[in-house]
Structure formats: structure tokens, C-alpha cells
């Protein structure tokens, strides 16, 4: 068994890697980006429709956002260092004419915007080609101007931002600030004539010669191979994950994903674990008695009730409980009104309670949410448990146990119950993966700040740092749940040998 467990633990990171890879590709290949694009600047930057004075600042923040989240890079493989000067020139001509070169067909607004952003993202890897085009007197002035602005786009490096910035990164930010200040001064120039452009282009070329090494403008073959594999969105994300850094929130780079998840841990774990455990034991009880008294009034009545429970959605049951239970009654055996929102009382009141009073306060607040979660899962699992018990009761070893005179308690609890629990464990263990998904509707209705609402907001905001953490964590819990289920199988049924299963 130990060998089997070690093998499963070794396969766990491999399985997680491919799960993360699949989810990452799906999220990044989905239409759109985690940002709202309305206009595209002349350097491949995107901004909203605002005044000229404000547009530059919004462009800067948007580009910094894309840079921070790796959205300026290819998803899996980076072939941009191999782009030749002729291809760069073709892109600039298409942007200038807004037409496809070979077909002489007008580009749609969507394709035109996509081309400008894509060319802007590639700019840092084709700086030498852009300088060559910018200084080529044979090219039209409009093409040279485009090369000028795209060079500034590619040469611009953004400051390190985040929760923990080292002293080295702070020093780099200072140097980057000086370089970006020079590039911004050139970006804002309005070229009234060709000599003025030539003067700015010459200044930019001189600056490039001084910073060519830092910009990696001429990478050798080994550097290109490194860029091919390691300067991508996925490699950047995985490098953070291996350091247990799951990134920051899209809306606030100073708030880490992990810190926000930990803040909500007690809420969602309580609303997930308690109903899961209660469902397991209650469905065993109801399933056993429904199977023993098959087709009796108890069986039929319970089946009808569970069918009604199963057919009633939570967004109907929760308001019903609030309206007909909470608003018109006190909490049972107390004079306290039924709480209808939150996980506990306000902090000013909760902090004044003793430990027992805090437990009682939380119990009062989560009673209705737990009932709402429990009734639906119990309705489904009890019907499954009934079918399993019916099948188990007709097994040969059950008839043998009856013939030997085994008592009802030992027969139904030890012989039948233990074996019937195995399929239920599979269902319950597999549901470990949905703990981090939370219960969106329940948390919204009862105003509980758990994982469900948090991850729902992340999907709406296209915050894929949070979405990727959700996929990673839920997959990990699901895999751990199935491993626990395998071990539990062996404990419940000695006939099951993990070593034999492995050999097969």
C-alpha cells in the first residue's frame, strides 16, 4: 500500500501540471482579454475614448497591466525573435494602409485593432528591424514614423509592481524611470516636418546603441531558444506557481490571491465540509431504511419528499426560508431573531462574546445556509444510497450472514452498511474539488463572503490569476479526495488490495 500511495503522490504534480496547462490554454484562448479595449493607439496600445491629455496615462496603465500579467507574450511558444525585417515591414504597411497587402482588401476594425496590438507586443523582439526601417530613407515617411512609435513601444520597460518588491527591483525601477522618461519625451513629439522627425529618429538611434545590450536586441541562438520556451505566458505563470506565488488581483496589484483566499477560508470550508459530512451519514440512514422497507409508505413518502427537494432550486428555497421562517420566528429555544445575513454578528458585537457565545452566534447565522445546501445534496445522495443498499441486500454474503443468525444491527451496520458506503465515498470524495467553488447563490443571498462570490466576480472581471488558482486548487483537492477514497476502500473492505490494483 505504501508503494501505491507514493506512486500516486509522485503522479499528483504531473497530473496537476497538465490540468493547469489545459485550463491555462482555455482561459487564454477565450475571446477577448482581461481588459476592456475600445481604441488602439499608434504604438499598439489600447485605451478608452477620453481626452487627449488623459489618453496617454490610461495607455500607460493599460500596457503596464498587460505587462504585469504577461498578456504581451505568446501563450506557449515564443517565435517572435525569428521574425524578419520584411515581415515587420509588411505589418507596418498594412497598418498604414489599413488593407491586406496581397488582396488589397480593407481590414475590418477588429482585425485592424488586433494587428496593431499584436505588432506592438512583438516590438520588443524586433527592435533592430524597427530601427533599420526607421532610418531607411527609401521608405515612406509614414512607415518610418510607425516604426519610430513601435520602437518606443517595444523599448519601454515597466516598473516592478506588487506586494513584495526587493531592493534590487527598486533600483531597477529607478533606472527604468529615467529611460522611460526619455522615451515618453520622444513619444509626445508632434512631427511637423521631415527634419524634425530625422532629429528625433537620430536621438532614438543613439539611445538604442547605448542600451542595445540591456534590450537584448541581437540575441544569439541559445538566447532565442531560451526565449522560445521561457518567455511565454505559461512559463511566466508556472515560475510563480512553483514559488507558491499565485499572483495578485486584477483590480488591485497590492492584494495577493492567496491572502484573499485565506480570508474566505473559514466561510467556504464551513459551508462545504459540514453539509458533506452530514449528507454522508444521513443518506446512509435514509438509504438503509428505504431499502429495508422497500415499497412501504415510508419508502414512497420519503422518495416523494426527496423528489420535491431535488426539484426545488436553491434560489427558490433560500428566499422561502427567509420569508417564512427567519422573518417571522425567533431562533429555536432562544429569544434571538433568526439571522438572515452574514457568517456572524458585526465585529463590534462578535468581539465582545466569549468563545461559547461566538460558536453559538456562528451556528445561528449558518443554520439557514446549511439547511439550504443540505436539502438538495441529501435528496440526490439518498436516492443513490437507496439503490446501493437494495443491491447490497441481495448479495450472497448477506443471505449467508442471515442464515448464520447474525443480528439485525450487525447485519445492517457492519455487513451491509460498510460495503454500501464504498460507492458513496466515491461520490463524496470527488466532491472535495468543489469546496473552493463555494456556493455562489447561497453566499449571495445570505451575504457571506466566501469563495463562490469571490470566484464568480473573478470570472466576470476576467481575473485569470484567481480563475487559475481556483482550477489548480480544486483539481488538487479532487485528486487528494480520490486518493483518500482509495485508502478508505481498503479499510472498509479487506478484499480490496491497492497493491493488486496497481499490478493490474
Contact 406, 244 (CB under 8 A): no
Instruction: Read off the pLDDT of residues 20-49 as tens digits, 9 standing for 90 and up.
Output: 899 888 888 877 665 544 344 445 444 443
CA distance 256 to 242: 16
**Cβ neighbours, 10 Å, residue 409:** 9
CA distance 184 to 56: 10
Give residues with Cβ within 8 angstroms of 46, minimum separation 6: 35, 37, 38, 39, 40, 59, 62, 113, 117
Contact 475, 482 (CB under 8 A): no
Secondary structure class of 461 (helix, strand, coil): coil
What sections of 104-157 are H helices per DSSP?
A: 109-122, 127-134, 141-155
Domain coordinates of the chain in residue numbers?
A: 35-247, 264-503
Residue 457: pLDDT band with limits 50, 70, 90: confident
> Which residue in the block uniquely carries the three cell numbers 515591414?
89
Residue 345, pLDDT > 90, answer no
Residue 56: pLDDT band with limits 50, 70, 90: very low
Task: Name which residue leads in pLDDT, 405 or 426.
Answer: 405
**What distance lies between CA 344 and its chain's CA centroid?**
28
Instruction: Read off the pLDDT of residues 234-278 as tens digits, 9 standing for 90 and up.
Output: 998 898 888 888 888 877 777 888 888 888 888 888 888 888 888
Residue 497: pLDDT band with limits 50, 70, 90: low
Residue 57: pLDDT band with limits 50, 70, 90: very low
Contact 200, 190 (CB under 8 A): no
Largest distance between two CA atoms of the chain: 107
Contact 430, 275 (CB under 8 A): no
Which phi and psi (to 5°) does residue 444 adopt? -70, -45
- CA proximity to 95, closest of 24, 40, 25, 154: 40
Instruction: Read off the pLDDT of residues 208-234 as tens digits, 9 standing for 90 and up.
Output: 998 888 888 889 999 999 999 999 999
Task: Name which residue leads in pLDDT, 227 or 494.
Answer: 227
Mean pLDDT of 87-111: 88
Query: What predicted TM-score, i.e. pTM, was given to this entire model?
Result: 0.74
> Which residue in the block uniquely carries the three cell numbers 488589397?
104
- CA proximity to 84, closest of 133, 120, 44: 133
Which phi and psi (to 5°) does residue 143 adopt? -65, -40
Give residues with Cβ within 8 angstroms of 21, minimum separation 6: 234
Task: Name which residue leads in pLDDT, 167 or 125.
Answer: 125
Please tell me the least confidently modeled range out of 81-95, 206-220, 445-459.
445-459
Give residues with Cβ within 8 angstroms of 364, minimum separation 6: 331, 334, 336, 338, 339
> Tell me, what's the pLDDT at 376?
76
Please state which CATH number belongs to domain 264-503.
1.10.3720.10
Residue 54: pLDDT band with limits 50, 70, 90: very low
Amino acid at each position: 500500500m505504501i508503494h501505491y500511495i507514493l506512486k500516486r503522490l509522485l503522479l499528483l504534480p504531473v497530473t496537476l501540471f497538465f490540468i493547469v496547462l489545459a485550463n491555462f490554454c482555455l482561459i487564454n484562448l477565450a475571446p477577448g482579454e482581461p481588459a476592456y479595449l475600445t481604441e488602439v493607439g499608434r504604438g499598439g496600445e489600447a485605451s478608452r475614448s477620453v481626452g487627449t491629455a488623459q489618453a496617454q496615462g490610461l495607455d500607460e496603465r493599460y500596457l503596464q497591466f498587460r505587462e504585469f500579467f504577461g498578456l504581451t507574450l505568446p501563450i506557449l511558444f515564443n517565435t517572435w525573435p525569428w521574425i524578419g525585417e520584411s515581415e515587420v515591414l509588411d505589418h507596418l504597411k498594412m497598418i498604414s494602409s489599413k488593407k491586406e497587402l496581397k488582396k488589397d482588401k480593407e481590414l475590418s476594425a477588429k482585425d485592424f485593432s488586433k494587428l496593431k496590438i499584436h505588432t506592438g507586443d512583438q516590438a520588443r523582439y524586433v527592435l533592430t528591424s524597427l530601427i533599420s526601417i526607421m532610418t531607411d530613407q527609401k521608405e515612406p515617411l509614414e512607415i518610418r514614423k510607425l516604426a519610430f512609435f513601435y520602437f518606443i513601444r517595444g523599448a519601454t520597460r515597466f516598473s516592478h509592481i506588487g506586494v513584495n518588491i526587493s531592493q534590487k527591483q527598486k533600483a531597477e525601477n529607478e533606472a527604468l524611470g529615467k529611460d522611460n522618461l526619455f522615451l515618453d519625451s520622444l513619444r509626445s513629439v508632434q512631427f511637423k516636418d521631415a527634419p524634425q522627425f530625422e532629429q528625433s529618429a537620430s536621438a532614438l538611434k543613439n539611445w538604442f546603441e547605448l542600451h542595445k545590450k540591456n534590450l537584448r536586441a541581437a540575441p544569439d541562438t541559445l538566447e532565442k531558444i531560451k526565449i522560445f520556451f521561457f518567455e511565454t505566458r505559461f512559463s511566466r505563470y508556472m515560475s510563480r506557481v512553483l514559488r507558491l506565488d499565485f499572483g495578485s488581483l486584477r483590480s488591485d496589484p497590492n492584494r495577493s490571491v492567496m491572502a484573499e483566499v485565506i480570508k474566505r477560508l473559514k466561510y467556504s470550508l464551513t459551508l462545504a465540509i459540514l453539509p458533506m459530512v452530514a449528507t454522508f451519514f444521513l443518506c446512509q440512514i435514509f438509504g438503509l431504511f428505504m431499502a429495508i422497507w422497500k415499497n412501504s409508505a415510508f419508502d414512497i413518502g420519503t422518495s416523494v419528499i426527496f423528489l420535491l427537494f431535488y426539484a426545488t432550486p436553491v434560489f427558490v428555497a433560500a428566499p422561502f426560508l427567509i420569508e417564512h421562517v427567519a422573518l417571522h420566528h425567533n431562533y429555536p429555544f432562544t429569544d434571538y431573531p433568526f439571522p438572515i445575513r452574514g457568517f456572524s454578528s458585526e465585529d463590534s458585537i462578535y468581539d465582545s462574546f466569549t468563545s461559547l457565545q461566538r460558536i453559538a452566534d456562528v451556528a445561528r447565522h449558518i443554520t439557514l445556509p446549511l439547511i439550504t445546501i443540505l436539502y438538495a445534496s441529501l435528496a440526490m445522495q439518498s436516492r443513490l444510497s437507496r439503490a446501493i443498499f437494495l443491491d447490497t441486500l441481495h448479495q450472497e454474503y448477506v443471505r449467508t450472514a442471515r442464515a448464520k443468525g447474525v443480528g439485525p444491527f450487525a447485519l445492517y451496520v457492519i455487513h451491509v452498511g460498510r460495503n454500501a458506503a464504498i460507492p458513496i465515498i466515491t461520490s463524496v470524495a470527488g466532491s472535495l474539488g468543489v469546496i473552493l467553488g463555494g456556493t455562489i447563490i447561497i453566499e449571495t443571498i445570505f451575504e457571506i463572503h466566501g469563495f463562490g462570490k469571490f470566484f464568480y466576480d473573478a470570472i466576470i472581471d476576467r481575473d485569470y490569476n484567481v480563475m487559475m488558482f481556483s482550477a489548480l486548487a480544486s483539481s488538487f483537492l479532487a485528486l487528494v479526495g480520490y486518493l483518500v477514497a482509495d485508502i478508505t476502500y481498503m479499510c472498509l473492505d479487506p478484499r480490496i488490495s491497492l497493491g493488486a490494483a496497481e499490478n493490474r
